[in-house]
């Protein structure tokens, strides 16, 4: 429909919705700012951040008042000659600087407002370079952008409806309607405003890096993210009241009562059996941590560490500390961040049970990169179409408005380091939040300087409190407060295992890669010794290919073994869905055979199947029968399972200790045994899995072996305390010794230099190309696949998104490496489900050679040398 030429719209009538007048939108966004920015939040200069963002909200879409923009949204009547003139963000950016300057804000605050508005539909740039190019360099280089800006201002001034609107906006922003005229004059008749902006960052058309403070990046991030959230929720027509943005708090008392009930059911005695002593120390550790909370809160929060051995109940203790700190500091939200998506479901399930709730509520949200919803508009050309999403619930979930968000390091740190536009919406929720980092040592070594710098941003600019929680505390944070009074006493109390270096690891220590590693066949023989002793064992491999080969070797040498994956396939066929497979019944079926059992776990199995199989494994380890599990690293963190023996392929020290946490976890036996071996390459490969995965940067493998060797007692014994405390400490010392410097200083410098563009190019996960395969094993799976096709054909995008979310746990992500034509060709032979999105369907009935009940998705006759976790 044609628009009223005398009206000025922010969003036109569309899809049955009324149009939104520009004045209404600007006012609405400004009125949302108090819900998004806390009253006490300040800029580095001590100004009210809320006042700053309110001004940005009032002027951010002022460029939409031009007839160029109004014609663009009016029934498709677009003039291709005027593309540059219809972009609305540049005019808003200059107006933002102007109104902030008139309000007396610090120059860097005004610059932050300029960039925040300029990029409120895009990604943050290199701040100094961007401002220079849009001002000084444009002025001297004949850039058409400043000409377009002048034409926009003249256009507004020449049309009564537009000028009236602009004067009203300025009257609201500065208190003086005539300030609009002064702004227009400064843009059209002279270069005064452009010169003032450029003068803060540029000389002769070149950026001056030292002109910006080290706080500039955080300030821009705060202004931009708050504006983006207020703007997008307004455009989506979310209610503007406080309830829309408010969390529901998971209260400390409910969690405390749950833990008290667990403790009441557990026999605890400091002088009793080993299990009773463990229960005693678990309770004592939690009390110890909670006793430290008042002191941390009294000091204003900052960074705290929580150092306890595995099996000591860190998850519930960490949540207890977080909720207690939140209450003491009058905070709003808790964010619980983990290194792996595979662990999130277990933590979420625990919280759901404790609070009788579901994820996706105001109390609890689970969010990680596999569920990221990407809205359009990260490029300037798409800016005017960028805020058309009306998925308010999904938007608020991704904005972390819940009282507790369980997420990954990827989501947390990549949202702080040059985030995408929609990723930024979660940042306002971090104000006054308590953030738990579970296993921070799992961060890539390259990030070991950047992560602490980003934590500084959280604690200094967002007034957040960060708790770093692990058994192997890395030296990441200076001046952190330890919540555990005497960590060593707890490590001594849970001395459950002995460590051993296999001959292959000894050879690695003596000669490095010049010595022969251990064959998978020999490793399988060691596992069979465990079977002969009637015990359970876990073997953790570094790659999918290595795990598959070790599984095959065990299977070949143990012909009467019960394959748990095959038995699960039968149970799944009968039950219909993984949720309906009863772990206890399946474990009992396996146990009744009286034969050894074998289970394989890797990310080539669907997430839903992995969770079900882990539940079966827990049941099997509680029974007195020989049981072998061969897995990739996915079992190392957050999986509450215990084996008699654990074998770990050579890996960094923290991974070895994490794997050991799956051995004799609750003193089920007198003593567990953890063996570190060094496995050969699988198949025809040339690089051992250890070196393929970890041989980057510092010599972490060599230092791990040396640290373990140094922890040996005179009689050759390696007890748990010596390894988990002394060897870990020595390992981190060695990483920083001899002039080695862990972490890329350049990454941290990007924050200090406000290089959001470079930060945005970094990633915590491999940026290899991958495709998703929906693995259909049951009739219900096939129905879901067909529902996806139908929704796409019918352009029912809400239904499509819902079906995609429902199938997330039934998809396998397959990496496709450069030059790996075999994998790419094999996948493209599968039926495409959403080919443009890289989603294919695998019906195991039709493509049986692509799927194995034991090891999951497979490429027919493919090499597995480079198939990593």
User: What pLDDT digit, counting tens, does each position of 829-855 carry?
Assistant: 999 999 888 899 999 999 999 999 999
Both tokens of residue 22? Answer: 């520009």
Phi, psi for residue 369 in degrees, rounded to 5:
-65, -20
pLDDT band at residue 738 using 50, 70 and 90 as cut-offs: low
Residues 181 and 321 placed together within one structural domain of the fold: no
What CA–CA distance (Å, rounded) separates 121 from 426?
15
Residues 237 and 273 placed together within one structural domain of the fold: no
Instruction: Answer whether 304's CB lies under 8 Å from 440's CB.
Output: no
Whether pLDDT at 374 is above 50: no
By the 10 Å C-beta count (0-12 exposed, 13-18 middle, 19+ buried), 560 is classed as: exposed
| Mean pLDDT of all residues in 379-396 | 55
Give the pLDDT of residue 202.
87
**Among the listed ranges 166-175, 471-480, 709-718, 853-862, which one has the minimum average pLDDT value?**
709-718
Q: Which of 210, 243, 276 is the last residue of a domain?
A: 243
Residues 579 and 692 placed together within one structural domain of the fold: yes
Rg of the chain on CA atoms, in Å: 29
Residues 485 and 506 placed together within one structural domain of the fold: no
| Mean pLDDT of all residues in 269-278 | 87
Residues 625 and 695 placed together within one structural domain of the fold: yes
Q: Which residues pair with 647 in a beta bridge?
A: 539, 675
Q: Which of 166, 158, 9 has the alpha carbon at shortest distance from 92? A: 166
Residue 146 is assigned to a structural domain of this protein: yes
pTM recorded for the entire structure: 0.88
Give the pLDDT of residue 592.
96
What CA–CA distance (Å, rounded) separates 348 from 364?
8
Phi, psi for residue 768 in degrees, rounded to 5:
-75, 155
- Give the DSSP letter string of 771-801: EEEEEE-SHHHHHHHHHHHHHHHTT-HHHHH
Tally of CB atoms within 10 A around 318: 25
CATH of the domain at 47: 1.10.3210
Residues 258 and 280 placed together within one structural domain of the fold: yes
Q: Which of 446, 463, 491 is the last residue of a domain?
A: 491
Give the pLDDT of residue 697.
59
Instruction: Answer whether 417's CB lies under 8 Å from 457's CB.
Output: no
Phi, psi for residue 798 in degrees, rounded to 5:
-65, -45
| Mean pLDDT of all residues in 698-706 | 84
Whether pLDDT at 386 is above 50: no
Residue 757 is assigned to a structural domain of this protein: no
Q: Which of 655, 674, 644, 291 has the alpha carbon at shortest distance from 470? A: 655
Given CA atoms 746, 750, 755, 761 in this order, what sign does their dihedral have? positive
pLDDT band at residue 80 using 50, 70 and 90 as cut-offs: low
Tally of CB atoms within 10 A around 8: 25
Number of domains the chain is built from: 4
Q: Which residue has the tokens 């003039």?
A: 79
Residues 435 and 515 placed together within one structural domain of the fold: no
Q: Which of 211, 243, 275 is the last residue of a domain?
A: 243
Residue 521 is assigned to a structural domain of this protein: yes
Q: Which residue has the tokens 């277990």?
A: 346
| Mean pLDDT of all residues in 482-502 | 92
What CA–CA distance (Å, rounded) separates 671 from 664?
7
Cα 624 to chain centroid, rounded: 39
Whether pLDDT at 138 is above 80: no
Residues 213 and 159 placed together within one structural domain of the fold: yes
- Cα angle 20, 22, 28; round to 5: 80
Whether pLDDT at 11 is above 50: yes
What CA–CA distance (Å, rounded) separates 244 from 637?
35
- Give the rounded percent of residues in the chain with a pLDDT score beyond 70: 92
- Cα angle 305, 310, 311; round to 5: 120
Residue 742 is assigned to a structural domain of this protein: no
Tally of CB atoms within 10 A around 246: 14
Tell me which of 124 and 638 has the higher pLDDT.
124
Count helices and strands in the chain by DSSP H and E runs: 38, 25
What CA–CA distance (Å, rounded) separates 814 from 827?
9
Instruction: Answer whether 675's CB lies under 8 Å from 646's CB.
Output: yes
Determine how β-strand 832-834 pairs with β-strand 856-857: unpaired
CATH of the domain at 303: 3.40.50.300
Give the pLDDT of residue 68.
92
| Mean pLDDT of all residues in 122-131 | 96
Give the pLDDT of residue 390.
45
Residues 270 and 164 placed together within one structural domain of the fold: no
pLDDT band at residue 764 using 50, 70 and 90 as cut-offs: confident
Whether pLDDT at 379 is above 80: no
Residues 407 and 261 placed together within one structural domain of the fold: yes
Residues 483 and 499 placed together within one structural domain of the fold: no
Residues 262 and 167 placed together within one structural domain of the fold: no
Q: In this predicted model, what pLDDT tens digit does every residue of 497-539 receive, in sequence order?
A: 999 999 999 898 887 666 789 999 999 999 999 999 999 999 9
Instruction: Answer whether 814's CB lies under 8 Å from 827's CB.
Output: yes
Give the pLDDT of residue 192.
85
**Among the listed ranges 80-94, 488-502, 543-557, 589-603, which one has the minimum average pLDDT value?**
80-94
Give the pLDDT of residue 698.
59
Residue 112 is assigned to a structural domain of this protein: yes
Instruction: Answer whether 126's CB lies under 8 Å from 134's CB.
Output: no
Phi, psi for residue 718 in degrees, rounded to 5:
-120, 95
pLDDT band at residue 493 using 50, 70 and 90 as cut-offs: confident
- In which element (H, E) is residue 507 found? helix 503-511
Residue 374 is assigned to a structural domain of this protein: no
Residue 178 is assigned to a structural domain of this protein: yes
User: Chain-wide mean pLDDT for the chain?
Assistant: 90
Instruction: Please state whether 599 falls in left (phi above 0), alpha (psi between -120 and 50) or beta.
Output: beta
Whether pLDDT at 677 is above 70: yes
Q: In this predicted model, what pLDDT tens digit does every residue of 275-290 receive, in sequence order?
A: 888 899 999 999 999 9
Give the pLDDT of residue 82.
65
Give the pLDDT of residue 495.
84
Q: In this predicted model, what pLDDT tens digit does every residue of 200-245 receive, in sequence order?
A: 998 888 899 899 999 999 999 999 999 999 999 999 999 999 999 9
Residue 791 is assigned to a structural domain of this protein: yes
What CA–CA distance (Å, rounded) separates 219 from 457?
9
Helices 583-592 & 607-621, crossing angle to 10 degrees? Answer: 50
- Give the rounded percent of residues in the chain with a pLDDT score beyond 90: 69
Whether pLDDT at 369 is above 70: no
What CA–CA distance (Å, rounded) separates 337 from 443?
11
The domain in which residue 102 lies consists of 9-243
What is the Cβ-side half-sphere exposure of residue 499, based on CA atoms within 13 angstroms?
A: 31
Whether pLDDT at 388 is above 60: no
Instruction: Answer whether 718's CB lies under 8 Å from 708's CB.
Output: yes
């Amino acid at each position: 429909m044609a628009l009223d030429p005398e009206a000025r719209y922010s969003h036109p009538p569309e899809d049955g919705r009324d149009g939104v007048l520009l004045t209404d939108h600007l006012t609405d966004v400004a009125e949302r700012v108090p819900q998004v920015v806390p009253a006490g939040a300040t800029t580095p200069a001590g100004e009210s951040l809320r006042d700053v963002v309110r001004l940005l909200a009032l002027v951010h879409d002022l460029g939409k008042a031009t007839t160029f923009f109004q014609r663009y949204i009016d029934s498709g009547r677009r003039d291709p000659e005027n593309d540059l003139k219809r972009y609305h963000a540049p005019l808003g950016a200059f107006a933002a600087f102007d109104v902030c300057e008139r309000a007396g804000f610090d120059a860097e605050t005004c610059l932050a407002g300029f960039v925040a508005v300029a990029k409120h539909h895009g990604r943050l740039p290199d701040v100094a370079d961007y401002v220079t190019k849009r001002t000084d360099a444009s002025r001297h280089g004949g850039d058409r952008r400043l000409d377009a800006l002048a034409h926009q201002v003249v256009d507004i001034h020449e049309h009564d409806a537009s000028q009236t609107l602009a004067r009203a906006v300025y009257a609201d922003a500065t208190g003086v309607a005539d300030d609009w005229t002064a702004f227009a004059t400064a843009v059209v008749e002279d270069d005064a405003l452009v010169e003032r902006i450029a003068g803060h960052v540029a000389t002769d058309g070149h950026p001056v890096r030292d002109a910006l403070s080290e706080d500039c990046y955080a300030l821009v991030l705060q202004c931009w993210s708050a504006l983006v959230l207020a703007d997008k929720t307004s455009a989506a027509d979310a209610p503007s009241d406080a309830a829309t943005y408010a969390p529901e708090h998971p209260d400390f008392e409910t969690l405390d009562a749950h833990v008290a009930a667990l403790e009441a059911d557990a026999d605890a005695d400091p002088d009793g059996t080993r299990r009773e002593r463990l229960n005693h120390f678990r309770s004592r550790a939690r009390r110890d941590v909670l006793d430290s909370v008042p002191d941390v809160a009294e000091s204003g929060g900052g960074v705290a560490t929580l150092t306890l051995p595995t099996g000591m109940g860190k998850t519930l203790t960490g949540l207890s500390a977080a909720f207690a700190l939140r209450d003491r500091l009058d905070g709003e939200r808790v964010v619980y961040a983990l290194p792996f998506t595979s662990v999130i479901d277990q933590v979420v399930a625990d919280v759901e049970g404790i609070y009788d709730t579901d994820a996706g509520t105001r109390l609890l949200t689970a969010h990680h990169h596999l569920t990221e919803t990407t809205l359009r508009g990260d490029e300037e050309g798409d800016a005017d179409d960028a805020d058309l999403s009306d998925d308010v619930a999904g938007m608020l979930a991704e904005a972390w408005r819940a009282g507790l968000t369980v997420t990954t390091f990827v989501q947390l740190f990549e949202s702080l380091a040059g985030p995408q536009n929609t990723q930024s919406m979660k940042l306002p929720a971090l104000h006054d939040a308590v953030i738990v980092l579970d296993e921070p040592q799992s961060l890539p070594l390259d990030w070991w300087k950047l992560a602490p710098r980003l934590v500084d941003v959280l604690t200094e600019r967002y007034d957040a409190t960060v708790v770093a929680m692990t058994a192997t505390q890395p030296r990441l944070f200076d001046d952190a407060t330890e919540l555990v009074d005497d960590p060593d006493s707890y490590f001594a109390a849970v001395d459950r295992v002995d460590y051993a270096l296999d001959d292959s690891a000894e050879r690695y220590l003596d000669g490095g890669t010049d010595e022969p590693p251990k064959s998978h066949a020999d490793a399988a023989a060691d596992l069979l010794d465990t079977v002969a002793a009637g015990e359970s064992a876990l073997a953790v491999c570094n790659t999918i290919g290595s795990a598959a080969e070790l599984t095959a070797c065990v299977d070949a040498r143990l012909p009467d073994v019960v394959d748990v994956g095959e038995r699960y396939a039968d149970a799944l066929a009968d039950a219909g869905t993984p949720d309906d497979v009863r772990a206890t019944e399946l474990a009992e079926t396996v146990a009744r055979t009286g034969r050894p059992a074998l289970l394989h776990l890797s990310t080539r199995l669907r997430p839903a199947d992995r969770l079900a199989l882990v539940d079966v494994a827990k049941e099997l380890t509680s029974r007195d029968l020989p049981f072998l599990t061969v897995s990739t690293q996915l079992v190392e963190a957050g999986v509450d399972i215990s084996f008699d023996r654990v074998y770990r392929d050579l890996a960094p020290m923290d991974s070895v200790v994490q794997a050991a946490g799956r051995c004799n976890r609750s003193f089920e036996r007198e003593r567990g045994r953890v063996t570190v071996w060094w496995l050969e390459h699988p198949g025809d490969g040339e690089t051992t899995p250890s070196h393929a995965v970890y041989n980057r940067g510092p010599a972490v493998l060599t230092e791990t072996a040396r640290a373990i060797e140094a922890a040996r007692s005179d009689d050759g014994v390696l007890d748990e305390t010596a390894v988990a405390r002394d060897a870990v400490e020595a390992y981190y010392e060695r990483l920083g010794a001899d002039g080695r410097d862990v972490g890329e200083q350049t990454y941290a410098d990007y924050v200090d230099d406000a290089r959001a563009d470079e930060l945005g190019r970094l990633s915590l996960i491999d940026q290899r190309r991958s495709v998703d395969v929906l693995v259909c094993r049951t009739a219900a799976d096939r129905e879901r696949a067909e529902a996806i096709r139908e929704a796409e054909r019918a352009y029912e995008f809400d239904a499509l998104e819902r079906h995609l979310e429902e199938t997330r746990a039934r998809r396998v992500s397959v990496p496709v490496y450069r030059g790996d034509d075999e994998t790419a060709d094999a996948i493209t032979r599968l039926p495409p489900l959403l080919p443009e999105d890289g989603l294919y369907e695998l019906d195991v009935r039709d493509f049986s050679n692509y799927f194995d009940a034991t090891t999951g998705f497979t490429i027919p006759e493919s090499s597995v040398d480079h198939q990593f976790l």
